[in-house]
C-alpha cells in the first residue's frame, strides 16, 4: 500500500498535509494534486501484483490500482476496468467503453474516490454543480455511503440524469442556466449550509479516481502507450488525471519506455473554450458565451482547470479541436450502425475528431489510438432522439 505523502498545488507548488479535507490551494486557489510515497512500489515485480491482488470482495475494477490510491476502505459500486474494444473497421483504434461503469459514465471513477475520501474524513454533506453525469454518480455513491448529496444542474440535462439523481435520494436544484451558474450557487451557499464543495478540480480526489483510466489504458495495451488519446473535454478531470497517471507510471517504471501519447481534447463547436484558448496560444480560457450542444457533458463554458489542460496539451504535442453537433450526430450514427456501439454524444465527438485528424494526415491509420466513450448512449435517448429528429410512431 502506498501512503499519501502530501498535497501539492498545481499552480504555485505549495504543499499541504492530507490529514484533513482540503479544497483548493489556500494561497493561490490552484487545484491540488495528491502525492504518494511511490518508492516502495517501483519495478515490474510490483506491477505484476496488481492483477493477482484483485478480488471479488471490493478490490476489483479500478481498485486493482489501490496501491497507488489512498489507503482507505473504498465506497464502491464496481467502477472501472472497463472494456477496451477494438474497432471493427480500424485495427489501430481502441474504444475505451466508459459507459460500462456504474451510473453509465466515467464520472463513477472520480466520485467513487471523492465519496470514499469524504466518508473517511467524516464529512456528511456534499454539494456539486453538474452537467448531468456527475450528478448521477455523486448521488449514487453518496447513497451507498449514507451521505447527503446536494446537486445543482441545468434544467435541460438528459432526463436520465434527473431521474437517477432523484431516485438515489439526492437534493436536486434544477437551474435555468449552465454549470457555471450552478457552481456559483454552490459557492454562495456552501458555508451557510455546511456543504463540502465536491466541484470538478476543487477537491483533490476526483482526479485520483479518474487517473485510473490512464493506468488501465496502458495496462490494457500491454503496458505501452498509444500514439494518441482522444478525450471529450468539459472540466478536464480525466485528461488531467490520465496525464498524472503517466507521470506516476514512469516514476514507478511500470510502462515500457516510449513517448507519451499526444493528448487530444475534443469539444463541441457549441462550447469550445479550451480549443479557442489553445489556438490563440493562451494559458487560460475565457468564458464561452451562449454555450449550446447536445453533448451535455461538454457544456462547460469556463473550466476551472483550464490552465492545467492547456499545459498538458502543449507538453504532449497534442491538440484541441471542436466538432459541430451535426458531425457528432453523424459519427454517433456511424458507430451505431457499423460497430454496434451506441455512443454518448461526448464519445461521438471523440470518434468524429479521429475521422477528422485521419483525413488531415495528423494521424496515420497505423497510429494506435484510444478514443474515450465517456458515457453510455442509452443515458441520452431523449437528447439524441431530438437531435436525430426521431419520434415514437403515434
Ligand atoms: C459523458 C461525459 N463526457 C465527458 C464529460 C467531460 O468530462 P470532464 O469534466 O472530465 O472533462 C462529461 C462531463 O459531464 C460527461 O458527462
Ligand atoms: Zn497554490
pLDDT, one tens digit for every residue, the chain (394 residues): 458 999 999 999 999 999 999 999 999 999 999 999 999 999 999 998 887 766 655 578 999 999 999 999 999 999 999 999 999 999 999 999 999 999 999 999 999 999 999 999 999 999 999 999 999 999 999 999 999 999 999 999 999 999 999 999 999 999 999 999 999 999 999 999 999 999 999 999 999 999 999 999 999 999 999 999 999 999 999 999 999 999 999 999 999 999 999 999 999 999 999 999 999 999 999 999 999 999 999 999 999 999 999 999 999 999 999 999 999 999 999 999 999 999 999 999 999 999 999 999 999 999 999 999 999 999 999 999 999 999 999 8
Residue 31 CA to ligand 2 centre (angstroms)? 8
> What's the gap in Å between 7 CA and the centre of ligand 2?
11
Asked if residue 4 belongs to a domain, the reply is no
Query: In the listed set 165, 197, 229, which residue is the last one of a domain according to the structure?
Result: 197
* 151 part of a folded domain: yes
Do 212 and 317 belong to one domain?
yes
Residues 114 and 155 both lie in one domain: yes
Q: What is the pLDDT at residue 269?
A: 98
Last residue of a domain, one of 171, 197, 223: 197
Q: Is residue 52 part of a domain?
A: no
> How far away, in angstroms, is 379 Cα from ligand 2 center?
37
Pocket residues: Cβ below 6 A from ligand 1: 105, 107, 131-134, 200, 232-238, 297, 344, 346, 374-375
pLDDT at position 101 is 98
Q: How many domains does the chain have?
A: 2
Q: What is the pLDDT of residue 57?
A: 54
Per DSSP, 11 falls in state T
**Domain residues for 164?**
107-197
Judged by its nearest atom, the ligand closest to the C-alpha of residue 383 is 1
Residue finishing a domain among 143, 169, 197: 197
Considering every ligand atom shown, identify the ligand nearest to the alpha carbon of residue 295 and give its number: 1
Query: Do 237 and 353 reside in the same domain of the chain?
Result: yes
Report the 3 state secondary structure along 287-354. CCCCCCCCCHHHCCCCCCCHHHHHHHHHHCCCEEEEECHHHHHHHHHHHHHHHCCCECHHHHHHHHHH
Instruction: Using alpha carbons, select from 184, 186, 131, 193 the residue that is nearest to residue 160.
Output: 131
Verify that 285 and 172 share a domain, yes or no: no
- Residues 123, 97, single domain; the answer is no
Pair (353, 330) in one structural domain: yes
Copy the grid coordinates of residue 217.
489504458
Ligand nearest 265 Cα, by number? 1
Flag whether 186 is in a domain: yes
Distance 8 CA to ligand 2 centre (A): 8
CATH of the domain at 114: 3.40.50.1100
CA 313, CA 175: separation in Å to the nearest integer?
32
DSSP letter string, 115-136: HHHHHHHT--EEEEE-SSHHHH
Q: Which pLDDT score, from 0 to 100, does residue 53 have? A: 64
Q: Kindly state whether residue 264 falls inside one of the protein's structural domains.
A: yes
Ligand 1 atom closest to the Cα of residue 98 is: 1
- 272 assigned to some structural domain: yes
The pick from 268, 271, 347, 375 for probing ligand 1's pocket by mutation, whose C-beta has the most ligand atoms within 8 angstroms, reads 375
Sign of CA dihedral 266, 295, 201, 368: negative
Phi first, then psi: give them for residue 314, nearest 5 degrees: -75, -45
> Which ligand 1 atom minimizes the distance to the CA of 345?
1
What pLDDT, on the 0 to 100 scale, is given for residue 55?
60
Looking at all shown ligands, the one closest to residue 106's CA atom is 1
Residues 253 and 373 in one domain: yes
* Index of the ligand 1 atom closest to the CA of residue 235: 9
Nearest CA to ligand 1 atom 14: 297
Atom of ligand 1 nearest to the CA of 210: 10
Q: Are residues 370 and 255 in the same domain?
A: yes
- Residue 67, in any domain of the structure: no
Residues 269 and 240 both lie in one domain:
yes
User: What cell was used for 385?
Assistant: 432522439
Q: Are residues 379 and 311 in the same domain?
A: yes
Which amino acid residue places its CA nearest to atom 6 of ligand 1?
Answer: 234
pLDDT of residue 319: 98
**Beta carbons of 342 and 325 less than 8 angstroms apart:** no
Residue 158 sits in the same domain as residue 168 = yes
Write the CA distances from 77 to 61, 110, 112, 217, 236, integer angstroms. Answer: 9, 12, 8, 20, 23
User: Do 213 and 323 fall within a single domain?
Assistant: yes
Q: CA 159, CA 164: separation in Å to the nearest integer? A: 9
Q: How many CA atoms lie within 13 A of 49 on its CB side?
A: 12
Amino acid at each position: 500500500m502506498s501512503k499519501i505523502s502530501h498535497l501539492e498545488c498545481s499552480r504555485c507548488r505549495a504543499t499541504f498535509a492530507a490529514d484533513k479535507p482540503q479544497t483548493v490551494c489556500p494561497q493561490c486557489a490552484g487545484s491540488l494534486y495528491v502525492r504518494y510515497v511511490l518508492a516502495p512500489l517501483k519495478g515490474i515485480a510490483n506491477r505484476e501484483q496488481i492483477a493477482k491482488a484483485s478480488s471479488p470482495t471490493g478490490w476489483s475494477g479500478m481498485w486493482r490500482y489501490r496501491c497507488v490510491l489512498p489507503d482507505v476502505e473504498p465506497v464502491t459500486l464496481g467502477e472501472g476496468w472497463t472494456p477496451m474494444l477494438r474497432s471493427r473497421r480500424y485495427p489501430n483504434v481502441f474504444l475505451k467503453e466508459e459507459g460500462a461503469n456504474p451510473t453509465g459514465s466515467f464520472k463513477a471513477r472520480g466520485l467513487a474516490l471523492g465519496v470514499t475520501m469524504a466518508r473517511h474524513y467524516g464529512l456528511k454533506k456534499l454539494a456539486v454543480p453538474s452537467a448531468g453525469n456527475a450528478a448521477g454518480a455523486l448521488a449514487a455513491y453518496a447513497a451507498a455511503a449514507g451521505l447527503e448529496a446536494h446537486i445543482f444542474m441545468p434544467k435541460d440535462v438528459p432526463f436520465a440524469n434527473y431521474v437517477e439523481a432523484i431516485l438515489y435520494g439526492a437534493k436536486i436544484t434544477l437551474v435555468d442556466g449552465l454549470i457555471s451558474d450552478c457552481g456559483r450557487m454552490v459557492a454562495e451557499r456552501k458555508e451557510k449550509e455546511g456543504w463540502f464543495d465536491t466541484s470538478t478540480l476543487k477537491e483533490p480526489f476526483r482526479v485520483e479516481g479518474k487517473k485510473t483510466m490512464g493506468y488501465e489504458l496502458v495496462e490494457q495495451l500491454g503496458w505501452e502507450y498509444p500514439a494518441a488519446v482522444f478525450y471529450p473535454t468539459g472540466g478536464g478531470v480525466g485528461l488531467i488525471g490520465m496525464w498524472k497517471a503517466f507521470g506516476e507510471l514512469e516514476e514507478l517504471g511500470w510502462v515500457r519506455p516510449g513517448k507519451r501519447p499526444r493528448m487530444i481534447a475534443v469539444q463541441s463547436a457549441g462550447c469550445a473554450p479550451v480549443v479557442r484558448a489553445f489556438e490563440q496560444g493562451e494559458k487560460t480560457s475565457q468564458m464561452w458565451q451562449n454555450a449550446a450542444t447536445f453533448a451535455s457533458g461538454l457544456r462547460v463554458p469556463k473550466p476551472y482547470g483550464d490552465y492545467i489542460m492547456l499545459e498538458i496539451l502543449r507538453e504532449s504535442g497534442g491538440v484541441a479541436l471542436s466538432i459541430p453537433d451535426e458531425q457528432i450526430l453523424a459519427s454517433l450514427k456511424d458507430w451505431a450502425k457499423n460497430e454496434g456501439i451506441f455512443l454518448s454524444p461526448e464519445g461521438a465527438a471523440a470518434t468524429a475528431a479521429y475521422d477528422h485528424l485521419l483525413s488531415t494526415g495528423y494521424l496515420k491509420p497505423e497510429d494506435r489510438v484510444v478514443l474515450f466513450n465517456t458515457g453510455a448512449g442509452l443515458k441520452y435517448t431523449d437528447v439524441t432522439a431530438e437531435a436525430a429528429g426521431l419520434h415514437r410512431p403515434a
